[in-house]
């Protein structure tokens, strides 16, 4: 099997590319999977995007993203849940098995972290059956704790697994993203637990580098540039029996300023060097 057989490229990694460019670039480079965000799919048109990717012979490994349902106010909360149902529909239309969920953070002046976390569990209860009926697994992504207040109140793999466990495994799983969880003291045990409970729905990779830029969002590192033992974590993931895609999702301002084909070639090379 090709060394690249499990590689997938998340559209945020080469955000300067349109969906069409991403698909053509991956075909050209021998990359078999793509993980688009909803925005480029919507820009291209949902059915059209589904056809484009299918005709190119690529797999859609995940759709990013649902979530952002921590809000308490009823109207906003209903809108958030409706939007998540649409995201599930979009994943189904794309023949994509996994919808990534980023929970959302706290509102302005909001200090009720516990309450927000409870609302995450409640939102999952509303969405899980809907996803299950459409053959889509909701994948709870714990984000690095530095995003706890503004993006995601789910902060650790252990917490994500706990949130997933009340639901059938085909409905709700978790994302292991090396960028977000590399520092976790019990990472090895939690990856094993995700595997044993059948919850390891998606594996994403990026490296950790410093200094973090202002706002920290676009500071992820190219594979091999930072402190994450990527191959070691991949082995832990593989050891659970997981044989799904390895999705490269790197938010990096510098990479987005470069030529897309050059970035993709570099990602492929770094993947060979640090993950295969």
Residues that bind a copy of itself in the complex, under the rule CB under 8 A:
106, 110-113, 117, 144-146, 148-150, 153, 155-156, 158-159, 182-185, 208-216, 226-229, 232
Q: How far is the CB of 131 from a copy of itself (least distance, A)?
A: 24
Say which residues have a Cβ less than 8 Å from residue 15's Cβ, sequence separation at least 6: 256
Q: Alpha-carbon distance 88 to 127, whole Å?
A: 9
For 168, other C-beta atoms within 10 Å of its C-beta total 12
CB of 32 to a copy of itself, least distance (A): 28
Q: Smaller CB distance to a copy of itself: residue 139 or 153?
A: 153
Q: How far is the CB of 30 from a copy of itself (least distance, A)?
A: 27
Q: Answer for the pair 251, 10: CB distance below 8 angstroms, yes or no.
A: no
CB of 191 to a copy of itself, least distance (A): 14
Nearer to a copy of itself, 75 or 215 (CB): 215
Measured in degrees and rounded to the nearest 5, phi and psi for residue 173 equal -130, -160
Q: Which is nearer to a copy of itself, 75 or 210 (CB)?
A: 210
Closest CB to a copy of itself among 110 and 266?
110
**Which helix (H) or strand (E) is 233 found in, with range?**
helix 230-239
CA distance 212 to 249: 17
CB under 8 Å to 166, separation ≥6 — which residues?
A: 121, 124, 125
CB 124, min distance to a copy of itself, A:
16
**Of 100 and 116, CB closest to a copy of itself:** 116
Min. distance of Cβ 188 from a copy of itself in angstroms?
A: 9
**Beta carbon nearer to a copy of itself, 69 or 179:** 179
Q: Which two tokens stand for residue 129?
A: 């059956």
Q: Are 157 and 200 in contact (CB under 8 A)?
A: no
Residues 135 and 97 sit within 8 Å (Cβ to Cβ): yes
Closer residue to a copy of itself in complex, CB, 82/122:
122
150 DSSP 8-state letter: T
Taking the complex as a whole, how short is the minimal distance between the CB of residue 174 and a copy of itself, in angstroms? 14
Q: How far is the CB of 154 from a copy of itself (least distance, A)?
A: 9
- Calpha distance 276→274 (Å, rounded): 6
Q: Decide: 11 and 22 in contact? Cβ < 8 Å.
A: yes
Q: Considering beta carbons, is residue 37 or 208 the nearer one to a copy of itself?
A: 208
DSSP-assigned beta bridge partners for residue 67: 102
């Amino acid at each position: 099997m090709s060394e690249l057989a499990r590689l997938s490229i998340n559209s945020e990694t080469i955000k300067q590319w349109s969906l069409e460019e991403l698909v053509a670039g991956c075909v050209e480079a021998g990359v078999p999977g793509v993980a688009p965000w909803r925005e480029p799919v919507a820009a291209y048109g949902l059915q059209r995007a589904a056809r484009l990717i299918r005709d190119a012979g690529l797999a859609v490994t995940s759709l990013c993203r649902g979530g952002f349902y921590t809000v308490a106010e009823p109207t906003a909360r209903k809108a958030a849940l409706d939007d998540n149902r649409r995201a599930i529909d979009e994943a189904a239309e794309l023949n994509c098995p996994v919808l990534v969920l980023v929970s959302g953070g706290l509102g302005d002046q909001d200090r009720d972290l516990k309450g927000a976390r409870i609302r995450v569990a409640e939102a999952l209860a509303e969405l899980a059956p809907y996803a299950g009926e459409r053959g889509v697994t909701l994948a709870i992504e714990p984000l690095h704790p530095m995003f706890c207040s503004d993006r995601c109140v789910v902060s650790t793999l252990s917490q994500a697994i706990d949130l997933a466990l009340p639901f059938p495994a085909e409905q709700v799983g978790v994302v292991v993203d090396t960028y977000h969880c590399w520092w976790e003291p019990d990472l090895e045990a939690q990856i094993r637990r995700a595997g044993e409970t059948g919850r390891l729905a998606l594996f994403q990779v990026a490296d950790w580098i410093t200094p973090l830029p202002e706002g920290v969002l676009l500071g992820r590192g190219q594979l091999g540039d930072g402190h994450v033992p990527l191959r070691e974590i991949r082995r832990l993931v593989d050891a659970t029996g997981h044989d799904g895609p390895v999705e490269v999702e790197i938010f990096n301002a510098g990479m987005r300023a470069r030529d897309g084909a050059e970035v993709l070639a570099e990602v492929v090379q770094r993947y060979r060097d640090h993950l295969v």
